[in-house]
Amino acid sequence: MIPRTSLSKRGEATSSKLPDAPDVGAATGGALDGRWFGLKIPYSSLAYFLAVLDAAVIVLSSLVGAGIYQTLANAELNLEPVVAQGIVAAMLYVIIGQATGLYDLRAALAKKRRDIGRILGQWTLVCLLLTSLVFLMKSGAVYSRGSMICFGLLAPLLLVVCRRMSRRLVLGVVADGQVRGRRIVLLGTREELASIGLEELLENFGLTEVERVMLPTATGGFALSQDDLAALERAIAAARAQGAEGIVLAFPWSDTRKIELMRDGLRISPLPVQLLPDRRVRSLTQNPSFRVKNSLSIELQRGPLSRAEQLGKRVLDIVGASIGLILLAPLMALSAVAIKLDSPGPVFFRQRRNGFNENQFSIVKFRTMTVMEDGPNVVQAKRFDTRVTRTGRMLRKTSIDEVPQLLNVLKGEMSLVGPRPHALAHDGHYGQLLCDYAFRHHVKPGITGWAQVKGYRGETAFVEQMKGRVDCDLWYINNWSLALDLKILLLTCLELTRSRNAY
C-alpha cells in the first residue's frame, strides 16, 4: 500500500489531490463499465439496490411458487392474492432486514457464512407474520395453502442465491472503480494514513478521498503546533475547494488530546467531522472470531442540517423565490426604470460575499448608491449618507433593493432565511474581532434572518452591535426548523412596515 502524501524537509504538512474516484477497473474490463457518461454509482444507493433486489426475488418467488403448485395439483389459482402475498412478504422482509442490518454494506460485502442463517431466520419470521395476517383478516379461503407452501420453500432458496450473486456484483462494481462514496478530505498522521487504502475507505466506510493531508510527526502538548495549524487550515481549504462533503480524521485513538484539539479547530467548518478507527482497532475487526455489526467510525461533529432538512429548506427556497419573482416582477420593472432615470450607472449592484462554507458568490441588488464598492475597503451606508441616490433612499427604506436576491436564492447561493452576508472586507474585519463570527457560514446566507427581525439592521458602528447580530445568527443555526423559517418570513413582512434602521 503506497501512501499518497509525504513530508517536506521542514516537516510541514503536505497534501495530495486525488481524482473523483480511482479508475482501478480501467484494465479489468468489468461487465459493468463505470464510465457511463462519466457517472459513478453512489455508494449509499447500493443498500437500496440490495433491498429492491430481495423484494423483486420474493415477488417472483410468489408467482413461481404458485405456478409450480398449479402445475403439480392441476389447480386453478387466482393471480391477485398471489401477487398480494408476494408484495406484503417483500415489504415485511425489507423492513425487518433494514432494522436488523441485513443491508448494511459492511456486512453485505464481507464474506460471512452466517448469511444463510440470517436469511432463513428472517424469512421464517416473515412467514409467521404473513400467516398471522391471513388468520387475523379471516382470508384463509382466498389464499391457496399449497401455493403458500411452495412460496415459503422457494423464496429462501432464491434469496440465498441472490445474496451470493449480488455480493459478487457489488464487489466487482467497487473493484472496477464504478462506485462513488461520500467525498471527503482525509487528515491524519503518517502511520495512520499509510495503513488505510482507498478501497478500504470505500468498502468499509463509504468514503471517497478527494485529498489527503498529512500532519507532521506527532508531538505531545496542550496546544496545536504551527505545523498542525497549517495542516488544519490546508484541510479546510481543500475541502472548500474540492467541494468535499466532510472531513475525516485518521489518528491513534490513544492520542485523545490531539483528537480534541483537531475537533475544536474544525468547528469553524460547517462540514461533518468523522474519526476513523485506528489501525490497531481495524486489525481487531479483521479477526474472524469477532463480530462487528456496524462501522466503528465516530461522528465528532455533525453538519448543521441533515440531508432531509436541507431538502426541506431548499424546497421552501425554490417555491418562495419563484412566487416572489412572479408577484414582484412589475415592481422590479418600475424600480429598474426609476434607477436609470434618477442617476447614471447600472441598474443592479453586484458585490462579492461569502456564502456557505465561505464559498464566494456575487450578490445581486438594485443599485441605490453612486458608488459600486467591492474591494478591501467598503464603507457601510450611514444615516443621511450622501452617496445614496433619491430613488435609492426609497428602495432601501422599503427594502425593495433586496428583491433581486431572489435570483441568488434560485441559483442556490442564498436562502430566503439565514444570516445576512456581509462584504468581504467586513468579514475579514469582524472575523478577527469576534471568535464566533465564522460560524455564521455554517448555513447559506439569507435575504432575511433572525437578527433582522430582532432589529439588527443597518450600520454596525460598534462591535457590540455586530456581536448582537452574530449571537442571533448562531441562535438561528442551533435552533433551525422549517417552522422557524416561516415565522421569520412572516415577522419580516411585519418589520418592513416599520422600516426601522433602514437607510
- Provide mean pLDDT across the span 7-11: 35
For residue 407, what pLDDT band results from cuts at 50, 70 and 90? very high
C-alpha distances (whole Å) from 234 to each of 12, 137, 213, 282 are 11, 63, 7, 27
What does R_g of the chain's alpha carbons equal in angstroms?
29
Percentage of residues in the chain with pLDDT exceeding 70? 83
Q: In the predicted model, what is the mean pLDDT of residues 210-234?
A: 81
Specify whether 250 is located in the same domain as 346: no
Average pLDDT over residues 318-323: 95
- Domain finish residue from 301, 328, 357: 301
Domain match, 422 and 343 both: yes
| Domain stops at, among 157, 175, 193 | 175
Helix-helix angle 198-205:145-175, to 10 degrees: 150
Give the count of beta carbons closer than 10 Å to the beta carbon of residue 453: 20
pLDDT number for residue 400: 92
Evaluate whether 476 touches 446 at the Cβ level (below 8 Å).
Answer: no
Domain shared by 328 and 440, yes or no: yes
pLDDT of residue 41: 82
Q: What pLDDT, in 10s, does the model give residues 55-81?
A: 999 999 998 988 888 888 776 767 788
Quick check: 24 pLDDT over 50? no
Better-scored residue on pLDDT, 305 or 221? 305
Written as one letter, the residue type at 123 is: W
How high does pLDDT run on average in the chain?
Answer: 81
pLDDT of residue 42: 82
Task: State percent of the chain over pLDDT 90.
Answer: 31
Query: Distance between CA 94 and CA 112 in Å, rounded?
Result: 20
Confidence band (pLDDT; 50, 70, 90) for 102? confident
**pLDDT above 90 (res 327):** yes
294 & 317 share domain? no
Do 474 and 351 have their domain in common?
A: yes
Q: How far apart are CA 73 and CA 94, in angstroms?
A: 31
Residues 372 and 457 in one domain: yes
Question: Does 285 lie in the same domain as 252?
Answer: yes
C-alpha cell belonging to residue 42: 453512489
Q: Residue 373 burial by CB count (10 A; 0-12/13-18/19+): exposed, middle or buried?
A: middle
For residue 294, the model assigns a pLDDT of 54
Residue 267, domain member (yes or no): yes
* Domain end call among 175, 198, 225: 175
pLDDT attached to residue 90 = 93
> Residue 289's pLDDT band (boundaries 50, 70, 90)?
low
Q: What is the pLDDT of residue 281?
A: 81
292 or 27, greater pLDDT: 292
At 472, phi and psi to the nearest 5?
Answer: -65, -40
- Report if residue 97 sits inside a domain: yes
What's the CA gap between 260 and 221, in Å, rounded? 12
What is the count of structural domains for the chain? 3
Q: Establish if 7 belongs to a structural domain.
A: no
Looking at residue 411, the DSSP 8-state letter turns out to be T
DSSP 8-state secondary structure symbol assigned to residue 381? P
Three-class SS of residue 297? coil
Q: Tell me what pLDDT residue 76 has.
A: 72
- The pLDDT of 149-161, averaged and rounded, is 90
Positive or negative: CA dihedral 192, 194, 200, 201: positive
Over 90: is that where the pLDDT of 408 sits?
yes
pLDDT at 175 over 80: no
Q: What is the DSSP secondary structure assignment for residue 274, as one 8-state letter?
A: E
Measure the CA–CA gap between 486 and 393, rounded to whole angstroms. Answer: 28
What is the 8-class DSSP label of residue 456?
-
User: What's the confidence (pLDDT) of residue 263?
Assistant: 87
Q: What is the pLDDT at residue 141?
A: 64
Instruction: Say if residues 496 and 448 touch (Cβ distance below 8 Å).
Output: no
367 and 480 together in one domain: yes
What pLDDT is stored for residue 2 in this prediction?
Answer: 34
Q: Kind of pairing, strands 298-301 and 273-275? A: antiparallel
* Residue 327 and residue 197 share a domain: no
pLDDT digits (tens, 9 = 90+) for 379-406: 777 777 788 899 988 998 888 999 999 9
Residue 496 parent element (H or E) = helix 482-496
Is the pLDDT reported for residue 15 higher than 70? no
**Higher per-residue confidence, 350 vs 378:** 350
Task: Flag whether pLDDT at 197 surpasses 90.
Answer: no
Q: Please give the pLDDT value at position 215.
A: 86
- Give the CATH number, domain containing residue 199: 3.40.50
Residue 28 lies in a domain: no
pLDDT of residue 439: 87
Is residue 339's pLDDT more than 90? yes
pLDDT value at residue 10: 35
Q: Are 32 and 172 in contact (CB under 8 A)?
A: yes
Q: Is the pLDDT of residue 19 over 70?
A: no
Grid coordinates representing 312 are: 426541506
Domain annotation covers residue 9: no
Q: State the pLDDT at residue 438.
A: 85
Kindly indicate the confidence band of residue 25, based on its pLDDT and cuts at 50, 70 and 90: very low
Inform me whether the pLDDT recorded for 3 exceeds 50: no
Residue 133, amino acid? L
Residue 289's domain spans which residues?
15-21+181-301
Residue 191 exposed, middle or buried by CB count within 10 Å (0-12, 13-18, 19+): middle
Which pLDDT score, from 0 to 100, does residue 173 have?
78
Enter the C-alpha cell of residue 340.
Answer: 436609470
- Give Cα 356 distance to the centre of its chain: 13
> Is 371 found in the same domain as 438?
yes
Per-residue pLDDT band at 374 (split at 50, 70, 90): confident
- In the numeric block, which cell numbers belong to residue 486? 416561516
Tell the burial category of 29 from Cβ atoms under 10 Å away from its Cβ (0-12, 13-18, 19+). Answer: exposed
pLDDT range class, residue 29, cuts 50, 70, 90:
very low
What pLDDT sits at residue 473?
Answer: 92
* Closest alpha carbon to 5 in 22, 20, 17: 17
pTM over 0.85, yes/no: no
**Any domain includes 446:** yes
Question: Are the C-beta atoms of 100 and 122 separated by less than 8 Å?
Answer: yes
What is the longest distance spanned by two Cα atoms in the chain? 96
Do 365 and 472 lie in one domain? The reply is yes
- Please tell me the distance from the alpha carbon of residue 434 to that of residue 255, in angstroms, as a whole number: 30
Q: Is the pLDDT of residue 253 over 60?
A: yes
Which of the listed ranges 131-140, 346-355, 425-434 does the model predict with the highest average pLDDT? Answer: 346-355
Do the domain assignments include residue 34? no
The pLDDT assigned to 287 comes to: 60
CA dihedral 115, 120, 122, 127 (to 10 degrees): 160
The pLDDT of residue 350 is 92
Q: Do 217 and 324 fall within a single domain? A: no
User: Is 271 within 8 Å of 246 (Cβ atoms)?
Assistant: yes
Write a three-state SS string for 458-479.
CCCCCHHHHHHHHHHHHHHHHC
User: Which of 106-110, 138-142, 251-255, 335-339 shows the lowest mean pLDDT across its residues?
Assistant: 106-110
* 273 located within any domain: yes
**Residue 288 pLDDT level (bands cut at 50, 70, 90):** low
- Answer yes or no: is pLDDT of 188 > 60: yes
